[in-house]
Amino acid sequence: MADQHAFIAAAIQQSCGADREANLAHSAGLIESAADQGAQLVVLQELHTGPYFCQEEATDVFDRAESIPGPTTRFLGELAAELGVVIVGSVFEKRMAGVHHNTAVVLDSDGSLAGCYRKMHIPDDPGFYEKFYFTPGDASADAFRPIQTSLGRLGVLVCWDQWYPEAARLMALAGAEVLIYPTAIGWDPEDDTDEQARQLDAWITVQRGHAIANNLPVIAPNRHGFEEAPDGSGHGIQFWGNSFICGGQGELLARSSVEGDDILLATIDPDRTDALRRIWPYLRDRRVDAYDHLTRRVRD
């Protein structure tokens, strides 16, 4: 018999258009379908209320930002309460004039706002000009802290955070029972097929590595579809989908394809982490006395 602490998680993969309300309605339909299939935790992708606007730097885009609590958290909170599920969503947050964040929000099964996580690692690459829009989350004692919900402690991080083992490890040390990475990542259409394959493989492999190194399951939903550059140059991003859920030994429990909306379902059993850590005791054997240089930018 399955452990009563186990629950069914869903990762939602979808494309996003320019109409915010249509995107939310589409997400709601996928969440409802996931709940009908038994999901108790539903994770949406990064910045799911609209197109990925960070392909350019434009000041009028800040008009899209909203407060927390605000319209998106109210919408998702009502849906969470109606369906009795925990929902992880994403908000372009306006914290105050001139301070904006890329923020994951967690709505508990009673509709309450259980907590939020402000993206800590902010990229600035061609097509991903996030530093123009987002202030990193505060580096305080609350950084990389899991969010307590009715299902357990969720280690919520966001996209670019997924490349940093430090973020995953700190979440694990703070008691996270699952690592969650809402994502918006894709290819430059000018990349050749071999380079695209290398990038996708790296993205999946690094997150499976976090699962293995911390004995924790990972949920990583990503958007799909081509989004043209706002300047009409013909360039853009082909978001590569491939959302997945893996277990605490990196084993793939569910994986989507490149294209198409999808609902991935998998059973998450936090108690399995205890069993894994008894035979793979990475945390026991850490040499914390020898890691001081990790707090430096470069080791001299």
Q: What is the pLDDT of residue 293?
A: 92
Please report, rounded to a whole number, the percentage of residues in the chain having pLDDT higher than 90: 91
Q: Name the packing angle between helices 20-36 and 71-83 (round to 10°).
A: 20
Query: What is the C-alpha to C-alpha distance for residues 151 and 5, in angstroms, rounded to an integer?
Result: 8
* Nearest alpha carbon to residue 90 among 77, 78, 73, 74: 73
Q: For the segment 257-270, what is each residue's pLDDT rounded down to a tens digit?
A: 889 999 999 999 99
Query: What is the C-alpha to C-alpha distance for residues 156 and 9, in angstroms, rounded to an integer?
Result: 14
Q: What is the pLDDT of residue 2?
A: 43
Q: What is the pLDDT of residue 4?
A: 54
Contacts of 37 (CB under 8 A, 6+ apart): 8, 10, 263, 265
Q: What is the pLDDT of residue 189?
A: 86
- The structure tokens listed for 182 are 């809402």
Question: Which residues are catalytic, by number?
Answer: 46, 119, 159
Query: What is the C-alpha to C-alpha distance for residues 26 and 11, in angstroms, rounded to an integer?
Result: 14
- The structure tokens listed for 242 are 């491939």
Domain residue extents for the chain = 7-295
Q: Does pTM top 0.85 for this prediction?
A: yes
DSSP string, 13-77: E----S-HHHHHHHHHHHHHHHHHTT-SEEEPPTTTTS--GGGS--GGGGGG-B-SSSHHHHHHH
Do residues 163 and 125 touch, judged by C-beta distance below 8 A? no
- The structure tokens listed for 173 are 């040390």
In the CATH scheme, what is the code of domain 7-295?
Answer: 3.60.110.10
Strand 244-246: give its sheet, edge to edge: 147-149, 152-156, 178-180, 218-220, 244-246, 252-255
Question: Which stretches of the chain drop beneath a pLDDT of 50?
Answer: 1-3
Q: Provide the CB-side half-sphere exposure for 131 (13 A, CA).
A: 6
Q: What is the pLDDT of residue 234?
A: 65
Polymer length of the chain: 300
Q: For the segment 221-280, what is each residue's pLDDT rounded down to a tens digit?
A: 999 999 998 877 668 999 999 999 999 999 999 999 889 999 999 999 999 999 999 999
Q: What is the pLDDT of residue 231?
A: 76
